[in-house]
Amino acid sequence: MSNYHIKHLEEYFQVYRKSVRNPESYWEEIAEEHFLWHKRWDEVLSYDFEKPEFKWFKGAKLNITENCIDRHLRTRGDKTAILFEPNDTTEKAQHISYNELHERVCKMANVLKDKGVEKGDRVCIYLPMIPELAVSVLACARIGAIHSVVFAGFSSKALATRINDSSCKMLITSDGSFRGNKKIDLKGIVDAALENCESIENVLVVKRIETNISMQNGRDIWLQPLLDNASSSCEPEIMDAEDPLFILYTSGSTGTPKGMVHTTAGYMVYAAFTFKNVFQYREDDVYWCTADIGWITGHSYIVYGPLANGATTVMFEGVPSYPDYGRFWEIVEKHKVTQFYTAPTAIRALAKEKTEYVEKYDLSSLKILGTVGEPINEEAWHWYDENVGKKKCPIVDTWWQTETGGIMISPIPYSTPAIPTFATLPLPGIQPALMDEEGKEIKGNQVDGRLCIKFPWPSMARTIWNNHQRYKETYFSAYKGMYFTGDGALRDSVGYYRITGRVDDVVIVSGHNLGTAPIEDAINEHPAVAESAIVGYPHEIKGSALYGYVILKETGETRNQDNLRKEINQLISDRIGPIAKLDKIQFTSGLPKTRSGKIMRRILRKIASNDTSNIGDTSTLLNPEIVEELMENVISS
Ligand code: WT7
């Protein structure tokens, strides 16, 4: 039996039982056999759900880039580590070998050091999906700097908030980016953001779109000449197992984004282990995850997980619709992709197009398909299975979160029989629990409840940057001695889990996790707006879309409502980013509120979803008459 590579169902059950009976020895064996350490741990796990505090491989010393790069050089130096596919089909793909990756990471690390970045400093990375993004991430890890990657679709305000929250010293960006047939002025966004960021000393700028940008003297520096002069050897900084590796921001249901802190050893072990098993990775595979490195999926399953296994990982700069809807499949054929990992929203968007786009290409290299980010509906699952996998490829519906660092519940291909819409079984070491609203665990099968995890796992986020109290309140206060996920789930008669969606005020739009409160804050900045409430409603392509209820100030507002809608969406775009724009905006004279003043979002959700047959009890409302008005004026198309 191998702890590290599970190959059939019986083995899964054996390994799972062992991992639950004795988690310490289970993870210790894996850590020992599959990674490179400078010093062994003193203790595999110590934890306290009250504080809360979790330490894995305490006292161990390592550098994650040695595990992801250096140790492969002897056996796989010339193998492609990163296969870069540019936005434009006329530009050549780049095959970056492990040797070359080593050289590029070392050079970048030396540039960072030369510009004064030290162990523990925060470096913000705001780059499109180009090799420099992965190289920058790894260069930070090489020298022990903490990277904070901000998705390059975020607005200048959102970027500034994230830079300031963790007082980043350095920013790495590019002159611009390509997205389909558009060019985006990234440096312009950066300049606007930095008007409000005092901690940034230097901005390193990658040349990507060859456009004229303004470079601020003393602050902004073109990266390439620095790299040209940098040494290609850089000794890795020896890190403690629990030293922070990165910060990644995720939206909460209220307040500012949360800077989730992931540490080094546990994250590495779990990302590598789950990558190997969930994708059944083999030496000659070409693995492609279509996510952006700006999200956790990209951190764990484009960069760290694959590279720790010596894999070839594809990085795609573009979008699925450019130059046409066949692009994904053209890339699969061209690079003979074996594992393909994407989001339900992408699947639904592609399923809407003619099947010729898929049929045109030879997809016979594919072995395993994956999905992540939101519940996948049955129709999309079957489309994926039939048209992409030709009914021959196991589909892994992987449930996890920014906070969990790695995949938690997922089938293991060739072992776990898949059922559409079910994430199926917990991976080894993961102990899910379903809880009721009174805080009691719901045992048995064919039940549903709130999904918690009742034992620590190696890649769990350790804190929220600068706000441990919030970490405690958000994840460890709802249920004693457990991590609360924020999701609801159902456990069927054989023990399979199906994620039913968020139980808090987070809406997942096209796989992007959006808190409603920050969007409401943005809307409320509009001078004509008195109050607003945002809810999600089902959307064919995006999974969920955003519906806004807006109360205007009583100043005899006579402006054109369509213009107001545009202005409101522009504000959201500026404050958060275009992904948070509202699909529908209904102006109303009031919102349903409880006597204590709490907005009854349950009712708003029903109205927005055109599901008013069973609106539920409105008797506790302060203003029950408003429900009628809201239903009458609902925007249904
Ligand atoms: C939330 C986490 C994990 C990387 C991408 C999202 C939802 C995620 C699934 C799935 C149903 C899913 C959950 C979760 N989610 N995967 N396979 N089935 N729902 O990371 O932005 O932190 O969002 O995404 O609601 O809580 P994230």
pLDDT digit string, tens, across residues 477-514: 999 999 999 999 999 999 999 998 888 888 999 988 89
Integer Cα distance of 235 and 71 in angstroms? 13
In the chain, DSSP finds a helix count (H) and a strand count (E) of: 21, 30
Residues 6+ apart with CB under 8 A from 326: 357, 358, 360, 361
Give dist(CA 496, CA 183) in Å, integer.
45
Q: Of 384, 349, 383, 352, whose CA–CA distance to 368 is shortest?
A: 384
Residue 329 predicted with pLDDT over 90: yes
CA 212/CA 219 separation, integer angstroms: 17
pLDDT of residue 53: 98
Q: Strand, helix or coil at 478? A: coil
What integer pLDDT is reported at residue 601 of this predicted model? 85
Q: Does the beta carbon of 487 lie inside 6 Å of ligand 1?
A: yes
Residue 272 has pLDDT above 80, yes or no: yes
pLDDT higher than threshold 70 for residue 254: no
CA–centroid distance, 485 to ligand 1, in Å, is 10
Question: Closest ligand 1 atom to the C-alpha of 407?
Answer: 3
In this structure, what token pair is assigned to residue 34? 């599959």
Nearest CA to ligand 1 atom 2: 401
pLDDT in tens, 133-183: 999 999 999 999 999 999 999 999 999 999 999 999 999 999 999 999 999
Which one of 267, 275, 296, 374 would you pick to mutate in the ligand 1 pocket, going by the greatest count of ligand atoms within 8 A of its CB? 374
Percentage of the chain exceeding pLDDT 90: 85
Of the candidates 371, 374, 455, the one whose C-alpha atom is nearest the C-alpha of residue 411 is 371
**544 touches ligand 1 (CB under 6 Å):** no
Nearest CA residue ID for atom 7, ligand 1: 374
Ligand 1 pocket check for 398: Cβ under 6 Å = yes
Q: Report the nearest atom of ligand 1 relative to the CA of 402.
A: 22
* Whole-number Cα distances in Å, 150 to 108, 261, 291, 298, 430: 19, 14, 14, 12, 29
409 lines ligand 1 (CB under 6 A): no
In the prediction, which pLDDT does 503 show?
Answer: 83
Distance 115 CA to ligand 1 centre (A): 37
Looking at the predicted structure, is the pLDDT value of residue 342 above 60?
A: yes
Ligand 1 probe mutation, 508, 510, 512, 514, most atoms within 8 A of CB: 508
**Atom of ligand 1 at shortest distance to CA of 376?**
18
Report d(CA 430, CA 414) in Å as an integer: 20
Please state the CATH superfamily assignment of the domain spanning residues 9-319+398-475 in this structure: ANL, N-terminal domain (3.40.50.12780)
Q: 506-632: CATH homologous superfamily?
A: ANL, C-terminal domain (3.30.300.30)
Ligand 1 proximity of 411 Cβ (cutoff 6 Å): no
For ligand 1, say whether the CB of 402 is within 6 Å of any of its atoms.
Answer: yes
Return the domain boundaries, the chain.
Answer: 9-319+398-475, 506-632
213-234 pLDDT per residue, tens: 999 999 999 999 999 999 999 9
Kindly give the number of the ligand 1 atom that is closest to the alpha carbon of 486. 26
pLDDT for 553: 83
Question: Exposed (0-12), middle (13-18) or buried (19+): which is 587, by Cβ within 10 Å?
Answer: middle
Q: Which pLDDT value is given to residue 438? A: 83
Report DSSP letters for 236-303, one per residue.
Answer: PPPEETTSEEEEEEE--SSSSPEEEEEESHHHHHHHHHHHHHHTT--TT-EEEE-S-TTSHHHIIIII
Tell how far the Cα of 411 is from the centroid of ligand 1, in angstroms.
15
Q: Is the CB of 401 under 6 A from ligand 1?
A: yes
For residue 513, the model assigns a pLDDT of: 86
pLDDT at 544 over 60: yes
The pLDDT-based confidence of 557 (bands split at 50, 70, 90) is: low
Question: Quick one: CA dihedral 193, 150, 456, 446, positive or negative?
Answer: positive
374 CA to middle of ligand 1, Å?
5
The two tokens of residue 352 are: 């809407």
Rounded average pLDDT over 288-309: 98
In 421-492 the beta strands, taken as DSSP E runs, fall at 432-435, 447-453, 463-464, 483-491
Average pLDDT over residues 96-119: 98
pLDDT at 558 over 80: no
375 Cβ below 6 A of ligand 1? yes
Share of the chain above pLDDT 70, in %: 98
* Shortest-distance Cα residue to atom 14 of ligand 1: 401
Question: Does the fold of domain 506-632 match that of domain 9-319+398-475?
Answer: no
Q: Is the CB of 372 under 6 A from ligand 1?
A: yes
Residue 502 near ligand 1, beta carbon < 6 Å: yes
Q: What is the mean pLDDT of the chain?
A: 94
- Measuring from atom 13 of ligand 1, which residue has the nearest CA? 374
CA of 373 to the centre of ligand 1 (A): 4
pLDDT attached to residue 599:
82
pLDDT at residue number 634: 93
- d(Cα 593, Cα 533) in Å, to the nearest integer? 11
**What helix, strand, coil percent values describe the chain, rounded to 5?**
30, 25, 40
Amino acid found at 11: E
Kindly give the interhelix angle for 186-194 and 156-165, rounded to the nearest 10 degrees: 50
Output the CA–CA distances (angstroms, integers) from residue 482 to 19, 94, 395, in the order listed: 18, 45, 30
Ligand 1 within 6 A of CB of 80: no
Q: What is the pLDDT of residue 612?
A: 83
Question: What does the pLDDT read at residue 537?
Answer: 94
256 CA → ligand 1 middle, Å: 19
For residue 142, give both structure tokens: 């090489």
Nearest to 394 by CA among 430, 364, 368: 368
Ligand 1 pocket residue status of 424, Cβ below 6 Å: no
The residues with which 371 forms a beta bridge, in sequence order, are 342, 397
**Phi/psi at 473 (5° precision):** -65, -45
- List the one residue out of 597, 610, 402 whose CA is nearest residue 506: 402
Distance 152 CA to ligand 1 centre (A): 20
Using 50, 70 and 90 to split pLDDT, how confident is the model at 455?
A: very high
Three-class DSSP category at 404: helix
Residue 65, φ and ψ in degrees, nearest 5: -75, -25
Nearest CA to ligand 1 atom 24: 373
CA 633, chain centre distance (Å): 36
Judge whether residue 596 has pLDDT over 70.
no
Which residue's CA lies nearest to atom 17 of ligand 1? 399
| Mean pLDDT value across residues 581-587 | 96
Q: Which pLDDT score, from 0 to 100, does residue 360 have?
A: 97
Q: Is the CB of 344 under 6 A from ligand 1?
A: no
- pLDDT > 70? residue 515: yes
**Does ligand 1 come within 6 angstroms of the Cβ of 513?**
yes
Q: How many A from CA of 110 to the centre of ligand 1?
A: 36
- Output the six-digit token pair for 495: 């023990």
Gap from CA of 401 to ligand 1 centroid (Å): 5
The finding on whether 397 has its CB within 6 A of some atom of ligand 1 is: yes
Average pLDDT over residues 44-69: 98
Q: Give the N- to C-terminal CA distance of the chain in Å, as an integer.
A: 56
**Predicted local confidence at residue 556, as pLDDT:** 55
Indicate the Cα dihedral angle 17, 22, 27, 28, nearest 10°: -140
- Say whether pLDDT at 239 is over 70: yes
